[in-house]
Chains A and B, each alone.
Chain A
Amino acid sequence: MITILIHVLPKKDILDPQGKTVEQALKHLGFHQVEEVRIGKLIKLSINSEREEDAIEACKRMCDELLINPLIESYSLEVVRA
């Protein structure tokens, strides 16, 4: 079993109202050092595969076909080693 984390974030030029609102709230709390907040999501996949490369390849296909909308989201993969 190979565990892969998919980190999803709204693309740079996409407005992220949720991030913007949280950024404002943090500033209200006195965290003025906060420059920007972007809120995305984390998808954890447990993949039945022997080889890491196969798991990553499958994962990329899943991102293309369903998990990511490339118009608005960017992602990075992280293989979790036990």
Chain B
Amino acid sequence: MTFGVVVFPGSNCDRDAIYAVSGFLGQKVLSIWHQDTTLPRVDAVILPGGFSYGDYLRPGAIASRSPVMKAVKSYADKGGWVIGICNGFQVLVESALLPGILLRNKSTRFISTMQSLLIQNNQTPFTRNFSIGQSIKLPIAHKDGNYFADPILVEKLKKNKQIVVTYSENPNGSLEDIAGICNEQGNVFGMMPHPERACADWLGSSDGLGFFQSMLKTWEEQS
């Protein structure tokens, strides 16, 4: 399986993402530059964490309008898998690949801590190795992770099982304790916690590897 990791100016978890899928998962991985207008042949795209464009204007706003995102959008429209982590999640909501928005944390502070999470949907290609209600531990590190959507959208998310991961204890004021959601089709997934930073016990948790293993397993079955 070949992963593609998009690198924006200010991305700082791109190396971690690359290592997670190559070092820990043992798969091929390509870096994709933000100015590229086409994607190489990849089986999944990762939008990594960081502070693309210094969070100027709004987190993810400028990155979501960069040339590569047009290619990522058409890739996603054709059913390609896209996973956005932290700033990558912010890029996904700003580019309308995922609904809603991520606001400043309720405390207004940057929060960096290990967080308990619950898997709410294991029917996506990103979470099938987990069980529903499974408790996992992943680090979070963000200032704008407070998920917000209007009540109609929230109902829709619930009805379509688009709420994929929730916080056990809400750290940031996020609606419905949302930590990660997917699109209606289930091929685009964004989450604030960092699975790529938690792929080995010596990193404090290996639960993050499950997301990448889920993708690999689904890919192997399909090809």
> What is A's interface to B at a CB cutoff of 8 Å?
14-15, 17-18, 21, 65-67, 69, 71-72
* Complex A-B: 25 CB contacts under 8 Å: A14-B148, A15-B103, A15-B106, A15-B148, A15-B173, A17-B105, A17-B106, A17-B107, A17-B173, A18-B104, A18-B108, A21-B108, A65-B65, A66-B57, A66-B61, A66-B62, A66-B65, A67-B57, A69-B58, A69-B61, A69-B94, A71-B101, A71-B148, A72-B101, A72-B148
Complex contacts, A69 vs chain B, CB 8 Å: 58, 61, 94, 101
Could you tell me if A72 and B103 are in contact, using CB atoms closer than 8 angstroms?
yes
Give the docked Cα–Cα distance between A67 and B100 (Å). 17
Beyond A15-B103, A65-B65, A69-B101, list 17 extra A-B contacts (CB 8 Å): A14-B103, A15-B106, A15-B148, A15-B173, A17-B106, A17-B107, A17-B108, A18-B108, A66-B61, A66-B62, A66-B65, A67-B57, A69-B58, A69-B94, A71-B100, A71-B101, A72-B101
Interface residues on B, range: 10 to 19
Per DSSP, chain B at the interface is: loop
Complex contacts, A17 vs chain B, CB 8 Å: 104-108, 173
Give the docked Cα–Cα distance between A72 and B101 (Å). 8
Give the docked Cα–Cα distance between A21 and B100 (Å). 24
